[in-house]
Structure 1
Amino acid sequence: MTIPFRPLAEVKMMLEETGNDVSYAYDDLIFPEHTAFLIQFDDEKANNLKVFFNREIEPTEITSIEKNLTTASKKRKLTIESSGKFSMEQKEDTEEIELKFFPI
């Protein structure tokens, strides 16, 4: 089994440049310190990052975030792919979070 390369350090620097920080990284997902968006490494395309936006944020905020991420990603030879939306809910009586993805 081959483990794909995931440029976490580059993504961390990219996020810091846009005024964000990595709150949590799990497998192929990166959770910024807020939940307006999350990033998923694309194991099919090297250096491609899939971005999912929280269903609760406004379209104007999505546009602004996409612009900032795209500008910062180009400096690091990464690409941003808007891939859809997500919702996040805490499961009842547990600390587990349930993520639901809604691809474009």
Structure 2
Amino acid sequence: MTEKSSKTEKKPDAPGQAAQETPQQRPDQTTAPAASAADFLSMHAAHATGETYTPTGEELKQRNKRSLAIAGAIVVFIVLVFTITVLRIGGAAG
């Protein structure tokens, strides 16, 4: 038994004409119609289950530490940008 290594199959259009390559579809491939963005969003919409989650005390402590670290990084970034801006403006004026 020999298997085709090519994924295209050549078929003549009419007698006497040269064969043209046509793509061959595998049996596991199906062609689905293209969905619009609204269809895509509605298919993956979240559904309320009524479940709630209450974090433990340790999780709350970790969340607070993470929030403080992010807030500190933002403050440092703002101070850095302000300082650089003041120095560049001051250097250009003097």
TM-score, structure 2 as length reference: 0.23
- Which one has the bigger helix percentage? 2
- Which one has the bigger strand percentage? 1
* Higher RCO, 1 vs 2 (CA within 8 Å, ≥6 residues apart): 1
TM-score, structure 1 as length reference: 0.21
